[in-house]
Chains A and B, each alone.
Chain A
Amino acid sequence: MDDSQFLGQRRRIAWLTTVLLAVGLALVVRLAFCQLTPQGNILSFSLQRGHSPDVVPPARGNIRDATDHCLVASTILYDISVSPELLGEGQKEVLVPELARLFEREEEEISHTLDMTETVILGKNMSPSIQAQIETGGSALAFKSDPKFRRVYPDSTLAASVLGFVNYEGDALYGVEEYYDRLLEGTRGEWYGVRDPWGRQLLASLTNYRAAEDGATLVLTIDRNIQHAAERILQSGIEENKATSGNIIVLDPRTGGVLAMANYPTYAPGNYGEVESSEYYMNTSISSIYEPGSVFKPLTLAGALDARLIRPTDSYDDRGEIIVGEQRIMNSDRQAHGSTTMVELLAHSRNVGAAYVATLLGEARFYEYVRRFGFGEVTGIDLAHEARGILRLPGESAWHKSDLATNSFGQGLAVTPIQVAAAYGAMANDGILMRPYVVSEIHRGEEVEEGEPFPVRRVISSQAAQDITELMVEATELGMEEAVLPGYALAGKSGTSEIASIEGYVREFIIASFVGFGPVSDPRFVVLVKFDEPREGHWGTEVAAPEFRRMCKYLVDYYGIPPTR
């Protein structure tokens, strides 16, 4: 054998040695890596290789009312499917009646389903109790349960437009659900780890497990008992007066907290798809605008009282008409009433009187008060889709001098019901306008965040607030007997406005409303009642005032406020 052969052999041996050394070294390094570094690094290796995490979905936060009852809760519902080929001999016959009972379906239908070869969905959104019965049954292997978080509404349609809903895609729409979506949705959990050869996640370290953080629980200022009463009264009022739609708002004037917000028509958020149009979803109390009509007169008088241009005992000469900006303003009865007191002005809703007071105030001061009462801007209520209304101001091209007069009795401007309720709240609250709100507390785990009442501004002096309250109490008793609640002093004003169309105002279609508060010694509630296009009555006093009284009766009963008269 020559030297070259020896050399080749030696080289092969050298290569083998080198390879063995390299493998050994690699194993040692890998071992040292496993032994000396945290195991998280194994996982980070896994992550670098592009493994996606397992997602742990969070439960959406609950929404509770002021009495701590659930208005919206999250629950788990199951989509249950069956793979018939996994059922053993004779099991189908036993299962058919049982499944028919659980899924409330015909036995024939179930039998037909179990004859199929592929996997079939037996039922969607099934309750946990049904899922438990399936899971504990003898043929559990053939069934698959797919859990899903769903929203449940214990009181069905109660406060639907305030709450909003979550659609099938998981998007929060309307109301509190939309406004507080980021708080309610929570944070999803993630589960990173090494996967086994079958792709299943193997968790190797808790450092790579982030638990799901459930959404915050919201506590509303809405009291479900008051809300229920408001919806019942609204519904019966709609039926009695054959109105097309309506609203009742109950506010706490001291805080601005919304105690009830009822809208008609309404819907069931749990079955949100079963409505004729998406307009049903709108919270018309905050998003629809209307001409308030005579409920605006006390605000005009409040401004004049605050500016000390009139006194509660003053009178004016009612000649049945007044010219403002070259436009003739007349009373609704087209009559002159001679010497008229401020109480009579409100009691009999004299347009001429309101226009007269507005002219005393003048453009600048009148609109300053209108704006200070919160018109022409959103109230800032914590609900989605609030409208700001329409308010034309001097200097704007659309404004006319006669607007000063028409605006003084609530025509020529558009407002939302919540703006009117908040403005009356200011008169009830010593002249201070509060921002309306619906969420009073946010619970995030152990942490509780309390919402505080937010005073927007002082609109009128305390004395002016007291004076206008007294005027309204007297006026209610003098000219709006339908709203009087025996034993209690309530301050309020009716409003009747014709609905504007392209051809002008249509006398057949009106909006009847009544707004007031009480008891005046210590106002606990502001109530706004509004009916659109009633067929059985033509005036706010006829249509809305009786429902206002019913609502107030419920409230004094509910709060246990003893009669004072």
Chain B
Amino acid sequence: MPDRRKDLLVFYERTRRRISIDRVKPRTLAYFSMMLLLIGLAGGLYLHQASEVATYAKEIRRLQSHKERLRRELVALQGEVALLGSLERMHQVGEDLGYRLPEAADVKERLYIECTPTPAVRRTDRSLFGKQRGDSETSGVRVKNTFWQNLVEQFYLWFESPADQRWH
């Protein structure tokens, strides 16, 4: 009789000419069944996971394709809007509506409204080198500086970079 411990066999069978299922020990059968069940369970779970991922992937892919299609549509529409806004078409539409290009002489009758300019102008709107030449002359209004305006002016002078100062 072979020594089970010596051969490291996981089960032991008595010596017979053939092994038939009815002669397999219930313990062995249970063992194999459990193994198959576990493997089947593991495989089933894996397949379930994979199919779930594939389902979501398909949905995400569909949404992304839709998004991409909408993006293309947006780009195409922007292109169409640009084409419709062409200068030639604008002039034609204007002419059809009875408009004409203005002339400087038309502005003689322009209504001037006196207003105090906002002191906090953007740097790009303002002359980089302090007050723009002829600012007050062109506006047609000589504005009397208030205390705050003077303060802001002083701040701008102080704020100008050394490079700006060099040019004065």
Contacts and interface: CB of A to CB of B under 8 A. Distances in A.
Nearest to A560: B107
Q: Which of B19, B71, B134, B135 has the most CB of A within 10 A?
A: B71
Contact of A557 (B75, B81, B104, B108): B104
Q: Which of B84, B102, B138 has the most CB of A within 10 A?
A: B138
A563 interface: yes
A75 B78 contact: yes
Contact of A75 (B56, B80, B164): B80
Contacts of A255: 124
B124 A522 contact: no
Contact of A193 (B39, B49, B57): B57
Contact of A147 (B53, B72, B163): B72
A28 to B, nearest CB: 5
Contacts of B166: 458
B60 A155 contact: no
Contact of B10 (A1, A17, A35, A563): A17
* Main SS at interface, chain A: mixed
B9 interface: yes
Q: Which of B7, B17, B46, B75 has the most CB of A within 10 A?
A: B75
Contacts of B151: none
Contacts of B19: 9
A155 B86 contact: yes
Given A14-B10, A202-B57, A225-B87, A24 B38 contact: yes
Contacts of B29: none
Interface stretch (A92-100, A368-376, A447-455): A447-455
* Main SS at interface, chain B: helix
A452 B128 CA distance: 10
B27 interface: no
Contacts of A439: none
A39 B85 contact: no
A224 B87 contact: yes
A39 B50 CA distance: 10
B13 interface: yes
A204 B167 contact: no
B107 A76 contact: no
Contact of A432 (B76, B86, B167): B167
A254 B127 contact: yes
Contacts of B71: 59, 212
B76 A128 contact: yes
A272 interface: no
B119 interface: no
A561 B105 CA distance: 9
A14 B9 contact: yes
Closest 7 CB pairs of A and B: A75-B79, A70-B82, A73-B82, A522-B134, A154-B86, A27-B42, A128-B76
A487 B105 CA distance: 10
Q: Which of B10, B86, B127 has the most CB of A within 10 A?
A: B86
A62 interface: yes
Task: Give the interface size bracket for A toward B.
Answer: 35 or more
B49 A74 contact: no
Nearest to A440: B124
Contacts of A178: none
A528 interface: no
A35 B104 contact: no
A31 interface: yes
A178 B107 CA distance: 41
A168 interface: no
B75 A149 contact: yes
A280 interface: no
B5 interface: no
8 contacts: A14-B9, A27-B42, A128-B76, A147-B72, A487-B104, A522-B135, A522-B138, A561-B107
Nearest to B11: A13
A204 B46 contact: no
A122 interface: no
Contact of A42 (B39, B53, B80, B84): B53
A10 B56 CA distance: 47
Nearest to B105: A563
B57 A194 contact: yes
Q: Which of B11, B17, B129, B137 has the most CB of A within 10 A?
A: B129
B82 A453 contact: no
A556 interface: yes
A12 to B, nearest CB: 11
A58 B120 CA distance: 39
Contacts of B142: none
Contacts of A8: none
Contact of A62 (B82, B87, B135): B82
A204 B50 CA distance: 10
